[in-house]
Structure 1
């Protein structure tokens, strides 16, 4: 017999909580409850019962003789990959490691220091001994979560800097120290598989208010915290590159585990014609760019071929079908991810789709009127529809930037624009307060005057002042002399004070980004990669192909078709709709496979490339020619400055002199 942990309301069935059954009687439990009895009481269990698993490694402490005769029931109920992902290391242990690291950093950075003293190479503060001590904080058993715990500490110190403004600089420097140590741990790890699989991709949790946080890995956490030094480290970028190319993929049975793509060295072309490869971010991104260009082409064709009669041609129909697919994709992701999905580009796209929807609605209103009607309503609404369509042209072209951010030039510029828009919030907040105050003053003067209402004139004049084109002539007769004086003051505040503040903010933001342009681009690229990896969809139907999934797969089949059959059906449909792209992707993957095989023959890593300076490197023998000895004799010591070297040299000479004097004194005394 195997024993079942005591049944209670806090018992949660998962792959880590065993169900123990009697040999030959699987319906009977140790405590007398049957399987049907459990199902009847499943409302008392904390969580949805999806797994029934027996694991010998997780048995409770009982007499060993009790497990002599066993039967292991691996799956009684269906298992799904949507189940909650557990932390690879118990959350309390990760939290303890984070607290140990926090104590280490607080002792190493006891006071406010210049950030350069922390970040410079061969720092006096973050020494190799400190890095080694940080690695030992997790001991041998839990060493994999040390980098994650350092990122947790970075978040803690950043939060503490906001709460304790008097020590904000100190806490920010400590947060920087967390990044520096994490980067060194990543770059000094020799075991690549351990680095990728355990340190960077395993998900860990910490305890907050007695509960576990949502599990996350280092790749995700570094992107979320905008830890540029971590995202810019070599090991981190190698991992992101593997994820981007689809060389590391999530296990279908356990999404918390990333596995190596086994076929990347297979040179057979047809092996790579696999619809599952569309899950690789590189192919999803390429597909999005292609559809965006087609979408832009459809818009260009629609706006340049105006139909005076108001009829919808095939180009316009395709344009609105694409728009509907993109709109469904936005709502689907918002439904699955929640409010955290909302960002600048989402709002931007929704405004664009709103304009297109308005254009389509006005077109339908035009079509509801008869052709050649006397009042001309059909022509009026048809013209209005095209005006809305033309009004959205700048947004169509700007939307293309969203899918070009994987290119370094566009990516860096988008980061600059993003930071500038954030800095603009200060300007617009001040502008709003000033505009409301002066508007109320002008409206009050207008109300005191018995003449015609001048609200429209006031709004237009204030808008012109904000756009650096003030009109003073109109205020000569407006509540003299108060109107013109007030308008002069408003113009001075907006054009001289606020706009110069905005320019200064933009200049500061641009300098901050361009100084770290490479690191910012790598962080943006990592974020884009993680958006694809984190995508909630199991089957990748990129908009507008998601309409095929919705109307031809989900609605007619998903609700009744067995899961494995529905998955096969999805694969067949994906293979059909993506076939042109799959053939092209297979060609590039075949070429990549040849490169991987060549690298493995040379004993190099799979993504290694032979540069021109490496082509004849093997024909030069540095040691045999004596060149290595020459180089070592002239190599500078970068770990110590010249003054330190001279002091150490003088110290040695003083020591020799001391020994010589002691010997002379001994001889004299003798």
Structure 2
């Protein structure tokens, strides 16, 4: 437990503590260098493993995977645990590819090969199945390496969170870690591993935080076992993804309440009331937050919800513009009433999007998360349908307009044609009116269009939705874990020195615009701590109370010798009162447990072979014994004959002599 005095703890709770390290006189130069030069790649010694060495390990692993998967086969042979393809020897060889010094980057190199084989599958369609198998083999080996690692500190800090680079075109790539690579590649098999999710859980809870001196490095949160309430009243704890998600959900509920108040209280004069002003201020804050995320993390961070929010914010911005244009006109004028009406209509139009926006912050719950995964995949599959639909609609639209132009050389029925085609897409075709379009070709064309859209294209859409749902249903848990990992990564991928959650980022814009450009960094950081301590004080009380209770659980777990996040289940409550080894139950279980390493048929063949070898040895011994007996008998018979002959001769001699 850190030794904090009473007043220092209170200062920390209010954000008044000096959290900066002792600074040297040349630190200002380092800050300018950090702003001008990218954080990664400034010096070669900053790489944990040289990029050239990482690339060599990738090539070794590539050769290993190619040798293990030489031809196409059933995917289950690769993914089955204790299979004959990905054996313990293969896993050992994969770890040896990095040697003792660089063993930590093997999982990262496997994900690089995962991406390489994925690219090959797209480029070489004739061997696509083979490359897909090799890609899955990379994921299987990476998952096995992560699951088999027993040292959790080494797993999290060195294997999963340490960033590595490879050489491409003679230059090192942007450093990335296993967490980022797996999420970007959507390697759900790796994401679903126990060690990976344990690391994600620590990041989500804030037990692993970014180093204040180097945001690319993750360190342990040292005060997680401290039961002092004021210790956890730290504004910097708002960097924790879990607390950011809660704060965003609260701000979204407030945003929704402001929108409801603005829509349900229409001002006939068009003047902005208090709820509308705050709502539009929230909108500006959310827009700035989206822009900053894209600027810091790149376009890879963009997803479905970014596009969804962009559409929502665009409607609200246009609504605000209409309102401002209306306010420039005199009170009660037709222009003012017209633009005010347009503004309220646009604002009311996006009500379903406002309520649907809540799902963005509820996806941390498994029910909503799994549902959103299915929805996202279905929307992706819809792209094929809409691509075909657009092409067909354009073709038929051109035909109908051509028939209309043939009659009077004027395309006067264009809106009627568009409306009728939209009704056909929505399963409500309107055949009346097409008889006049170059009879009989107009009505024939419309019948063909209705048949293609209602019978063919819509059934294709249903089939695509069914396929997407089946694919997600088979991997629902892994897909949810991938979604949760991506959500966690969004909070930590572009860390801010001062966390101002939208719409509080407007405060940051004001503070940074007024102070950052001329004030020294130490004073600027202290002022930001003061402001965040005040703004987040209600949330900090709740988070500090929660962390204080968690700290007690951590201490109890450590007293039992368990992990910090261990939870005592029902079946573990009496585990200390049983000694299976003393009871002999361990031997009983080992005697009856199945052998998962070998196939049952192979085990039976080995047993028969051993019995055959024993029988062969026994027959050999018997043949040796019988052969030895026959030789002894053959040797004894001539000896007896010679002995008898001798005796006879002696006797004969004696007899003759006597005679």
Q: SS state of the match for residue 209, structure 2?
A: strand
Shift of 1:591: 0.3
> Of 466, 473, 478, which residue of structure 1 is paired with 2:425?
466
> Of 579, 596, 599, which residue of structure 2 is paired with 1:621?
579
Q: SS state of the match for residue 470, structure 1?
A: coil
> 8 Å contact 1:230–1:236 — kept in the other structure?
yes
Q: SS state of the match for residue 394, structure 1?
A: helix
Q: Which moved more, 1:252-261 or 1:500-509?
A: 252-261
2:132 paired with 1:177: no
Q: Deviations over 1:336-363 (max 9, x none)?
A: 3343343322222121111111222222
Q: Which residue of structure 2 aligns with residue 422 of structure 1?
A: 380
Distance in 1 of aligned mates of 2:296 and 2:90:
43
> 8 Å contact 1:81–1:255 — kept in the other structure?
no
Q: Which residue of structure 2 aligns with residue 378 of structure 1?
A: 336
Distance in 1 of aligned mates of 2:53 and 2:373:
37
Q: Which moved more, 1:620-629 or 1:523-532?
A: 620-629
Q: Which residue of structure 1 aligns with residue 258 of structure 2?
A: 298
> 8 Å contact 1:81–1:254 — kept in the other structure?
no
RMSD of equivalent CA atoms: 1.7
Q: Deviations over 1:20-79 (max 9, x none)?
A: xxxxxxxxxxxxxxxxxxxxxxxxxxxxxxxxxxxxxxxxxxxxxxxxxxxxx9979425
Considering fraction of residues, name the structure with more helix: 2
Distance in 1 of aligned mates of 2:29 and 2:515:
22
Shift of 1:148: 0.4
> Of 588, 592, 602, which residue of structure 1 is paired with 2:550?
592
Where do residues 100-499 of structure 1 align in structure 2 (5 Å cutoff)? 100-373=60-333, 376-450=334-408, 453-499=412-458
Distance in 2 of aligned mates of 1:636 and 1:536:
49
> Of 496, 508, 511, which residue of structure 2 is paired with 1:537?
496
Q: SS state of the match for residue 252, structure 1?
A: coil
2:569 paired with 1:611: yes
Distance in 2 of aligned mates of 1:564 and 1:658:
86
Q: Which residue of structure 1 aligns with residue 486 of structure 2?
A: 527
Q: Which has the higher contact order (CA 8 A, sep 6+)?
A: 2
Distance in 2 of aligned mates of 1:549 and 1:589:
27
Distance in 2 of aligned mates of 1:364 and 1:534:
38
Distance in 2 of aligned mates of 1:377 and 1:155:
58
Distance in 2 of aligned mates of 1:126 and 1:341:
34
Distance in 2 of aligned mates of 1:322 and 1:84:
32
Q: Which residue of structure 2 aligns with residue 9 of structure 1?
A: none
Q: Which residue of structure 1 aligns with residue 650 of structure 2?
A: none
Distance in 2 of aligned mates of 1:239 and 1:274:
23
Q: SS state of the match for residue 384, structure 1?
A: helix
Q: SS state of the match for residue 377, structure 1?
A: helix
Q: Which residue of structure 1 aligns with residue 560 of structure 2?
A: 602
> Of 604, 623, 632, which residue of structure 2 is paired with 1:665?
623
Gaps of 5+ in 1: 1-72
Q: SS state of the match for residue 606, structure 1?
A: coil
Distance 1:303 1:649, change over 3 A: same
**TM-score normalised to the size of structure 2?**
0.88
Distance in 2 of aligned mates of 1:372 and 1:221:
59
Q: Which moved more, 1:643-652 or 1:522-531?
A: 643-652
